[in-house]
Amino acid sequence: MTRSSRTERARSQPRRGLRREEAATYMGLSPSMFDQMVRQGRLPEAKKFGAASVWDMRLLDQAFDGAPRPANDNPFD
């Protein structure tokens, strides 16, 4: 099995942890905005597994659920 096929297979498997760009996409943010929000404490820090930084999807979900809603709170805007 080649490295690229192993990587593709790993990405297609269900998992709880996301790398930086995946976590940003999951939250609907650019990687730079994601980094800024992590620095500000508005999103959780990554967990470290050796050299890998991995974000817990459950913690990202909690941050998303707790994010403030717009003042008009119109779901169609």
| Alpha carbons within 13 A on the beta-carbon side of 28 | 3
Tokens of 29: 């943010």
Please tell me the distance from the alpha carbon of residue 60 to that of residue 77, in angstroms, as a whole number: 23
- Express each pLDDT in 21-42 by its tens digit: 999 999 999 999 999 999 999 9
Rounded to the nearest integer, the mean pLDDT of the chain is 86
**Confidence (pLDDT) at 53:** 97
Query: Distance (Å, rounded) from C-alpha 60 to C-alpha 44?
Result: 7
Position 67 scores a pLDDT of 83
What is the pLDDT tens value at each position of the chain, 77 positions in all? 566 665 665 566 778 999 999 999 999 999 999 999 999 999 999 999 999 999 999 999 999 998 887 777 666 65
